[in-house]
C-alpha cells in the first residue's frame, strides 16, 4: 500500500490513472474519509484509494465536453489547487469574524495546523473532482 502525505504528494503523479474508470465513491462524514476505486482495463490494474481526514471535496459535473458518464479519467494526481486553499482560508476568516464575540474559538478541520494533500481528477467529460485530505492511501492490484 502506498501512502501519500504533504511530504511526498508529488509522487501521486507517478501513478497511471489515465483511462481508468472511476467507481464505488463513498464518503463517511463521521470518519472524514472517502473511498473509491479506479479500474484501468488497458494496463490491467485496479487502484483502491482511501482519503483520510478529508476537509474538502468538490465535484463539478456539467458534462462540458459531452454527455458521456462522468467516470472515465483523463488525468489524476497532485495539483496545487491554490484556488481551493484560498476559498477555505476565506471561509475560515469569515467564520472567525462572525464568532469573535463568542467565548470559544471555532475549531474546524481547516484551522488545526494539519497540512493537506490536494488531489485533482479530470474526466474526459471536462468535469473535475477535487479532494483535500491529510493522507491518501493507494492499493494497486493487477488482474489478468
- What average pLDDT does range 23-32 have in this prediction? 95
- What average pLDDT does range 131-139 have in this prediction? 97
∠128-65-75 over CA atoms, to 5°? 40
pLDDT band, very low/low/confident/very high, at 107 (cuts 50, 70, 90):
low
The string of pLDDT tens digits covering residues 9-23 is: 999 999 999 999 989
The string of pLDDT tens digits covering residues 54-83 is: 999 999 887 766 666 667 899 999 999 888
- What average pLDDT does range 111-132 have in this prediction? 89
Q: Measuring CA to CA, how many Å separate 36 from each of 1, 28, 71, 136?
A: 15, 12, 12, 11
Amino acid at each position: 500500500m502506498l501512502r501519500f502525505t504533504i511530504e511526498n504528494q508529488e509522487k501521486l503523479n507517478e501513478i497511471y490513472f489515465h483511462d481508468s474508470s472511476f467507481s464505488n465513491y463513498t464518503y463517511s462524514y463521521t470518519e472524514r474519509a472517502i473511498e473509491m476505486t479506479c479500474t484501468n482495463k488497458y494496463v490491467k490494474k485496479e487502484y483502491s484509494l482511501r482519503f483520510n481526514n478529508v476537509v474538502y471535496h468538490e465535484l463539478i459535473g456539467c458534462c462540458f465536453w459531452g454527455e458521456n458518464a462522468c467516470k472515465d479519467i483523463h488525468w489524476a494526481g497532485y495539483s496545487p489547487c491554490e484556488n481551493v486553499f484560498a476559498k477555505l482560508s476565506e471561509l475560515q476568516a469569515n467564520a472567525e469574524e462572525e464568532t469573535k464575540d463568542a467565548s470559544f474559538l471555532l475549531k474546524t478541520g481547516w484551522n488545526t495546523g494539519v497540512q493537506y494533500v490536494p488531489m485533482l481528477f479530470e474526466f474526459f467529460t471536462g468535469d473535475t473532482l477535487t479532494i483535500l485530505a491529510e493522507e491518501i492511501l493507494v492499493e494497486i492490484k493487477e488482474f489478468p
